[in-house]
């Protein structure tokens, strides 16, 4: 990717050493979503714990709603050391470190427990090392946001036939683009920061994201119909610039890692405690919710049959997927 190349040419030029954020005692944290969702909850918890653990010597300022740039740009800025932290969807990290794509392959993660097992186990550890190597950012925490459901402003969708003719926004993520193509439509790749306006102005008919994100972003104001597909469980890592991390004293690094781990535990509990209620609230506010017909079978068959093999190479080989499935007991 060009962005990755940009980050690395600057790394090679040794410009990181002079990055201003490295010396900061107040760190900046970018968040792609508005305040109030799982990204915010993880970030808040991390901020509180980190400030406590460093006895107020260090603090974190949070900038929600893409104020510090689109999610994919924040990865590049963190790689450059001009941004300290970012919370963003894993699918927006994949272009910079393709092996994390294994977490976005459709229907691999089938429950919140699967998501927790992968992120906190060997797989998560390996992917964290890969993002440091490939993208110059370190994953220090995870927000668990629930399954990405499909929303649209036109009509109830329960089958792939219903999907035909719909203009659906997806992140600029090749796995997600290929998944919609396997379902028979060409989706519209678009930055997250442009999505609300595009839905509002009906440039696109729909998008997918978890209930908690739909609510935090107030998508219910511009989307009426929801389909409970479960193709991707949304994982949203908290990343820190590796150059910023390496410039910290060992006790500060330790505080970052501990605060990240504890905020991750909090995020899992938060999802369990809130998701059902948020779904009910969205229904009360007028969203019409449907399940895909026949247990989602046609969606699953098309996506796993054609999308998985297309991405074996980019995730590091079929063995990597087999390892993940084995870790999940499948
Ligand atoms: C996206 O759809 O680009 C992201 O999943 C949005 C998010 O970070 O919540």
Tens-place pLDDT, residues 11-51: 433 444 344 444 548 999 999 999 999 999 999 999 999 99
Lowest mean pLDDT among 6-20, 158-172, 181-195, 304-318: 6-20
CB-neighbour burial class of residue 57 (10 A; exposed 0-12, middle 13-18, buried 19+): exposed
Q: Is there a domain that residue 6 lies in?
A: no
Distance 103 CA to ligand 1 centre (A): 14
Q: Which residue is listed with tokens 């719909």?
A: 166
At 248, the pLDDT band (50, 70, 90 cuts) reads very high
Residues contacting ligand 1 via CB (< 6 Å): 32-33, 71, 88-89, 91-92, 171, 192, 209, 213, 236
pLDDT of 15: 42
- By alpha-carbon position, which residue is closest to atom 4 of ligand 1? 89
Q: Is there a domain that residue 11 lies in?
A: no
Q: Is there a domain that residue 8 lies in?
A: no
pLDDT of 13: 39
Domains of the chain: total: 1
Distance 33 CA to ligand 1 centre (A): 7
Q: What is the pLDDT of residues 123-152, one digit of tens each?
A: 999 999 999 999 999 999 999 999 999 999
Q: Is there a domain that residue 289 lies in?
A: yes
Distance 317 CA to ligand 1 centre (A): 26
pLDDT of 5: 34
Q: Which residue is listed with tokens 């994390």?
A: 100
pLDDT of 6: 41
Q: Which residues pair with 209 in a beta bridge?
A: 149
Q: Which domain holds residue 52?
A: 25-327
Atom of ligand 1 nearest to the CA of 207: 2
3-class SS string, 229-244 = CCCCEEEEEEEEEHHH
Residue 2 CB neighbours (<10 A): 8
CB 298 within 8 A of CB 160: yes
* Section 50-66 average pLDDT: 96
At 168, the pLDDT band (50, 70, 90 cuts) reads very high
Q: Is there a domain that residue 4 lies in?
A: no
Distance 74 CA to ligand 1 centre (A): 13
Which strands make up the sheet holding 26-31, listed edge to edge? 59-63, 26-31, 85-87, 233-241, 137-147
At 254, the pLDDT band (50, 70, 90 cuts) reads very high
Q: What is the pLDDT of residues 197-244, one digit of tens each?
A: 999 999 999 999 999 999 999 999 999 999 999 999 999 999 999 999
The percentage of the chain sitting over the pLDDT mark of 70, rounded to a whole number, equals 93
Atom of ligand 1 nearest to the CA of 88: 8
Alpha-helix residue ranges (DSSP H) falling in the chain:
2-12, 38-53, 71-80, 112-120, 122-135, 160-163, 174-182, 195-200, 211-216, 242-246, 250-284, 297-310, 318-327
Distance 14 CA to ligand 1 centre (A): 32
* Number of helices (H), then strands (E), in the chain: 13, 11
Position 1 pLDDT exceeds 50:
no
* Section 76-86 average pLDDT: 98
Q: What is the CATH number of the domain that holds 69?
A: 3.40.190.170
C-alpha to C-alpha distance for 17 and 76, rounded to whole angstroms: 16
Q: Which residues pair with 227 in a beta bridge?
A: 150, 290
C-alpha to C-alpha distance for 195 and 180, rounded to whole angstroms: 17
pLDDT of 150: 98
Q: What is the pLDDT of residues 98-129, one digit of tens each?
A: 999 999 999 999 999 999 999 999 999 999 99
pLDDT of 233: 98
pLDDT of 14: 40
Q: Is there a domain that residue 302 lies in?
A: yes
Tell me the angle at which helices 318-327 and 122-135 cross, rounded to the nearest 10 degrees.
140
CB 134 within 8 A of CB 101: no
Tell me the torsion sign for CA atoms 310, 313, 319, 324: negative
């Amino acid at each position: 990717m060009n962005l990755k190349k940009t980050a690395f040419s600057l790394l090679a030029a040794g410009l990181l050493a002079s990055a201003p954020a490295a010396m900061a005692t107040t760190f900046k944290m970018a968040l792609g979503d508005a305040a109030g969702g799982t990204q915010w909850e993880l970030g808040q918890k991390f901020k509180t714990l980190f400030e406590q653990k460093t006895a107020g010597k260090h603090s974190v300022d949070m900038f929600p709603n893409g104020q510090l740039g689109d999610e994919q740009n924040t990865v590049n800025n963190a790689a450059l050391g001009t941004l300290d932290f970012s919370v963003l969807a894993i699918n927006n990290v994949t272009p910079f470190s393709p092996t994390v794509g294994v977490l976005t392959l459709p229907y691999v993660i089938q429950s919140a427990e699967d998501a927790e097992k992968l992120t906190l186990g060997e797989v998560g550890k390996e992917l964290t090392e890969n993002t440091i190597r490939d993208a110059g950012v370190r994953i220090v925490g995870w927000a668990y946001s629930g399954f990405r459901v499909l929303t649209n402003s036109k009509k109830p969708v329960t089958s792939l036939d219903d999907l035909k003719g719909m203009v659906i926004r997806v992140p600029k993520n090749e796995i997600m683009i290929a998944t919609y193509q396997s379902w028979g439509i060409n989706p519209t790749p678009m930055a997250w920061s442009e999505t609300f306006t595009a839905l509002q102005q009906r440039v696109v008919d729909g998008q997918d994201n978890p209930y908690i994100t739909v609510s935090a972003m107030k998508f219910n104001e511009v989307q009426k119909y929801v389909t409970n597909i479960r193709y991707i469980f949304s994982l949203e890592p908290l990343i820190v610039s590796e150059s910023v991390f390496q410039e910290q004293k060992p006790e500060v690094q330790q505080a970052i890692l501990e605060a990240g781990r504890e905020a991750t535990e909090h995020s899992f509990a938060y999802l369990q405690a809130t998701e059902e209620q948020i779904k009910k609230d969205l229904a009360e506010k007028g969203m019409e919710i449907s399940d895909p017909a026949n247990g989602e079978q046609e969606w699953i068959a098309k996506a796993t049959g054609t999308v998985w093999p297309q991405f074996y190479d980019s995730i590091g080989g079929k063995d990597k997927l087999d390892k993940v499935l084995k870790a999940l007991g499948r």
